[in-house]
Chain A
Amino acid sequence: GAVVSQHPSRVICKSGTSVKIECRSLDFQATTMFWYRQFPKQSLMLMATSNEGSKATYEQGVEKDKFLINHASLTLSTLTVTSAHPEDSSFYICSAHAFGQGGTYEQYFGPGTRLTVT
């Protein structure tokens, strides 16, 4: 299957600083990537859809000026959490859309990034 990596896997930062998380599709090109946030024992919450070469589409309630997304190439999307606060502490997961055989739809996830803001 397709492989998606994320870096870093864990990050601790101080309140008020910014943190960048990278998401890479390693063995396929992804025109569309997604960023999710997950709280303990809950399902994944979609934050935004990242399209290569265009602006990201944010879900309702997600602050686009706080969560900056850049999809600079077909294999890389970045999420920057600006002016982080403790309530931004969470598990952030990216995914990449890929077509399977016969044009079928599949979505592959990265391993996630645990962000802790102190």
Chain B
Amino acid sequence: GQQLNQSPQSMFIQEGEDVSMNCTSSSIFNTWLWYKQDPGEGPVLLIALYKAGELTSNGRLTAQFGITRKDSFLNISASIPSDVGIYFCAGPSGGSNYKLTFGKGTLLTVNP
């Protein structure tokens, strides 16, 4: 089945720094979704991307849909302590049942 390789697995940064994480796939995706999960909570959709080359922002977050349709990245600018959490990339697994394939997540720690 399809697999998403997400990196890095974890990041430790200082407040105010910028962050970048990415996802790659061996197969083409038509949609890329980026989620954030706080401890003990469900994932929250941050950004959805639908076109190759698309660059979309949501506040301090920016995500891009790679031209090859096999990768996507998420940038967080000027990080703050509440950015702490696990960030997941995801994309439809194919077929008509709308299942998602998830990356393994990037654990972000922000030191005040």
Contacts and interface: CB of A to CB of B under 8 A. Distances in A.
Q: Do A and B come from one complex?
A: yes
B88 A43 contact: yes
Interface of A: 1, 4, 6, 32, 34, 41-44, 46, 49, 51, 57, 91, 93, 95, 97, 100, 104-112, 114
A34 B101 CA distance: 12
Given A43-B102, A51-B97, A91-B40, 12 more contacts: A32-B97, A34-B100, A43-B88, A46-B100, A49-B99, A57-B97, A97-B98, A104-B31, A105-B98, A106-B48, A109-B42, A112-B42
Nearest to B4: A43
Contact of B42 (A41, A49, A93, A104): A93
A interface, over-half SS: strand
A110 B99 CA distance: 16
Contacts of A112: 40-42
A57 B97 CA distance: 10
A55 to B, nearest CB: 13
Interface string B76-112: 0000000000001010100001111011110100000
Contacts of A95: 42
Nearest to B41: A111
A49 B99 CA distance: 8
Nearest to B103: A43
Interface centre among B31, B33, B35, B98 (most CB of A within 10 A): B98
10 shortest A-B CB distances, which residue pairs?
A109-B42, A97-B98, A112-B42, A109-B43, A111-B42, A43-B104, A93-B42, A43-B102, A110-B42, A104-B50
B45 interface: yes
A44 B50 contact: no
Contact of A107 (B40, B41, B98): B98
12 contacts: A43-B102, A43-B103, A44-B88, A44-B102, A49-B99, A105-B50, A105-B92, A107-B45, A108-B45, A109-B45, A110-B42, A112-B40
